[in-house]
Structure 1
Amino acid sequence: MRLLIIAIFLIGFFGNAQTNSYSISFENAVHHEAKVLINFPQVKSKSLEIRMSRTSPGRYALHEFVKNVYGFKATNSKGEALEVTRKDPYSWEVSEHDGTINIEYTLFANRGDGTYSQIDETHAHLNMPATFMYAAELEHRSIKVHFAVRKDLDWKVATQLKLEGNTTYSAPDLYYFMDSPTEISDFDLKEFELDGQQIQFALHHKGTEEEFAEYFDQVKRIVIQEKEVFGELPDFDYDKYTFLACYMPNVSGDGMEHRNSTILTDRESLAEGGMKGNIGTVAHEFFHAWNVERIRPEDLEPFDFTEANMSASLWFAEGFTSYYTGLMLRRAQIITSEEYINGLNGTFNYVWNSPALEYFNPIEMSYQAPFVDAATSVDPVNRENTFVSYYSYGSVLGLALDLALRGKELNLDDFIKLMWEKHGNSEVSYSVEDIEETLAEYAGKEFASEFFQKHIYNSQMPDYKELFEPVGVKISQDDEKNHFGASLRETEGGLEIARNTYKTSPAYKAGLTEGDLIISIDGTEVNSNEDFKKLISEKKNGQVKIAFKRFGEERTTEVELSEDPTYKIEMRENPSKEQLENRKNWLNSK
Structure 2
Amino acid sequence: MKLWIALLLLSLSLQAQTNSYEISFDNAVHHEAVVKVQFPHVKSKNLRVQMSRSSPGRYAIHEFAKNVYGFKATNGAGESLEVKRDDPYSWIITNTDGTINVEYILFANRGGGTYSQVDLTHAHLNMPATFMYAETLQERPIEITFDARKDLDWKVATQLKHEEDNTFSAPNLYYFMDSPTEISNFREREFKVDGQTIKFVLHDPDPESDFDTYWEKVKAIVLQEKAVFGELPIYDFDEYTFLACYAPNVSGDGMEHRNSTILTDTETLANGGMTGNIGTVSHEYFHSWNVERIRPADLEPFQFNQANMSDCLWFAEGFTSYYTNLILERAGVISAEDYVNGLNGTFNYVWNSPALQYFNPIEMSNQAPFVDAATSVDPVNRENMFISYYSYGSVLGLALDLSLREKNLNLDEFMQLMWKRFGKTEVAYTVKDIEATLADYAGAAFAQGFFAKYIYNSEMPDYKNLFEQVGLQLDRASEKPYFGASFKATENGLEISRNTFKDSPAYQADLDKGDVIASIDGIAMNSNDAFKNLLNSKNIDDVLQVTFERFDEVFTTQVRLTADPTYTISIAPDAKKSAIQIREKWLAKK
Quick one: which amino acid aligns to residue 572 of structure 1?
A
Please state how far the C-alpha of 1:519 moved relative to its aligned partner.
1.0
- 2:468 and 2:523 mapped to 1: Cα distance? 44
- Residue in structure 2 matched with residue 159 of structure 1 by the alignment: 158
Quick one: which amino acid aligns to residue 333 of structure 1?
G
- 2:202 and 2:435 mapped to 1: Cα distance? 40
Q: How does 1:274-423 map to 2 (within 5 A)?
A: 274-423=273-422
Q: 1:374 to 1:96 in 2, by over 3 A?
A: same
SS at match of 1:471: coil
- Residue in structure 1 matched with residue 543 of structure 2 by the alignment: 543
Quick one: which amino acid aligns to residue 35 of structure 1?
V
Please state how far the C-alpha of 1:137 moved relative to its aligned partner.
0.3
- Residue in structure 2 matched with residue 206 of structure 1 by the alignment: 205
- Residue in structure 2 matched with residue 11 of structure 1 by the alignment: none
- 2:289 and 2:213 mapped to 1: Cα distance? 26
- 1:223 and 1:21 mapped to 2: Cα distance? 35
Please state how far the C-alpha of 1:210 moved relative to its aligned partner.
6.5
Please state how far the C-alpha of 1:16 moved relative to its aligned partner.
1.1
SS at match of 1:329: helix
Q: Single out whichever of 88-97 and 206-215 deviates more from structure 2.
A: 206-215
- 1:194 and 1:108 mapped to 2: Cα distance? 39
- Residue in structure 1 matched with residue 259 of structure 2 by the alignment: 260
- Residue in structure 1 matched with residue 424 of structure 2 by the alignment: 425
Q: Single out whichever of 518-527 and 366-375 deviates more from structure 2.
A: 518-527
Q: How does 1:119-268 map to 2 (within 5 A)?
A: 119-208=118-207, 211-268=210-267
Deviations 1:76-98 (A, max 9, x none): 00000111110100101111321
Please state how far the C-alpha of 1:574 moved relative to its aligned partner.
2.6
- 2:78 and 2:139 mapped to 1: Cα distance? 26
SS at match of 1:225: helix
Q: Does structure 1 conserve the Cα–Cα contact (< 8 Å) formed by 2:44 and 2:95?
A: no
Deviations 1:345-399 (A, max 9, x none): 0000000000011100000000000000000010000000010000000000000
Please state how far the C-alpha of 1:537 moved relative to its aligned partner.
2.2
Aligned: 1:34 with 2:48: no
Q: Does structure 1 conserve the Cα–Cα contact (< 8 Å) formed by 2:179 and 2:260?
A: yes
* RMSD after superposition: 1.1
- 1:225 and 1:527 mapped to 2: Cα distance? 49
SS at match of 1:403: helix
Please state how far the C-alpha of 1:209 moved relative to its aligned partner.
7.2
SS at match of 1:16: helix
Deviations 1:515-571 (A, max 9, x none): 011111111112111111121221235211111111111111011110000000000
Deviations 1:477-515 (A, max 9, x none): 121100000001011110000010000210001000000
- 1:484 and 1:152 mapped to 2: Cα distance? 59
- 1:476 and 1:235 mapped to 2: Cα distance? 44
Quick one: which amino acid aligns to residue 81 of structure 1?
S
Q: 1:220 to 1:209 in 2, by over 3 A?
A: farther
Aligned: 1:270 with 2:272: no
Quick one: which amino acid aligns to residue 283 of structure 1?
S
- Residue in structure 1 matched with residue 493 of structure 2 by the alignment: 494
Please state how far the C-alpha of 1:295 moved relative to its aligned partner.
0.2
Q: Single out whichever of 407-416 and 200-209 deviates more from structure 2.
A: 200-209
- Residue in structure 2 matched with residue 583 of structure 1 by the alignment: 583
- 1:209 and 1:18 mapped to 2: Cα distance? 48
SS at match of 1:104: strand
Please state how far the C-alpha of 1:293 moved relative to its aligned partner.
0.2
Please state how far the C-alpha of 1:208 moved relative to its aligned partner.
4.2
Quick one: which amino acid aligns to residue 96 of structure 1?
N
Q: 1:373 to 1:326 in 2, by over 3 A?
A: same
Q: Does structure 1 conserve the Cα–Cα contact (< 8 Å) formed by 2:340 and 2:571?
A: yes
Gaps of 5+ in 1: 1-13
- Residue in structure 1 matched with residue 556 of structure 2 by the alignment: 556
- 2:477 and 2:566 mapped to 1: Cα distance? 8
- Residue in structure 1 matched with residue 3 of structure 2 by the alignment: none
SS at match of 1:141: coil
Please state how far the C-alpha of 1:32 moved relative to its aligned partner.
0.4
Please state how far the C-alpha of 1:207 moved relative to its aligned partner.
3.1
Q: Does structure 1 conserve the Cα–Cα contact (< 8 Å) formed by 2:521 and 2:545?
A: yes
Q: Single out whichever of 92-101 and 289-298 deviates more from structure 2.
A: 92-101
Deviations 1:60-105 (A, max 9, x none): 0000000000011111000001111101001011113211100000
Q: 1:269 to 1:73 in 2, by over 3 A?
A: same
Q: Does structure 1 conserve the Cα–Cα contact (< 8 Å) formed by 2:209 and 2:270?
A: no
Deviations 1:260-296 (A, max 9, x none): 0000000001111100000000000000000000000
Please state how far the C-alpha of 1:575 moved relative to its aligned partner.
2.2
Deviations 1:425-480 (A, max 9, x none): 00000000000000000000000000000000000000000100111000011211
Deviations 1:383-428 (A, max 9, x none): 0001000000000000000000000000000001100000000000
- 2:479 and 2:152 mapped to 1: Cα distance? 62
- 1:43 and 1:488 mapped to 2: Cα distance? 60
